[in-house]
Structure 1
């Protein structure tokens, strides 16, 4: 009988989707507007928000570019 060797250090792969990142961005925005963060936290929070926002905006731009490319590549029916 064959046994599979597993280690305690193996971790399941976690996938973060574009939707997850958009939600994270919304949570940061809502929490900041609600005054959840202390003033001393805002620099760090803002830095993370900027990183997440850049990733989300890049994904949106890439998706739009892909959509435009797909629309221009399809031959028009006459």
Structure 2
């Protein structure tokens, strides 16, 4: 029983050991070159930002009550 408690405590302590430092390239490595037409080489923070197409904003309108569906001109029977 004591071993289980000790193992659980060790797991909780290790789970809280996340690195909070800035990202840097490995020794001998460099960041990617600047994009074509840009004079500024992006840093690690700029490279981690998602563009609009990768993470689009959601526009979901929830329906408050049921509504009849509109006629779909492309809903044709198979030929």
Q: Shorter-chain TM-score: what band?
A: under 0.3
Relative to its length, the structure with more helix (as a share) is 1
Larger radius of gyration: 2
Q: TM-score, normalised by structure 1?
A: 0.28
Q: TM-score, normalised by structure 2?
A: 0.28
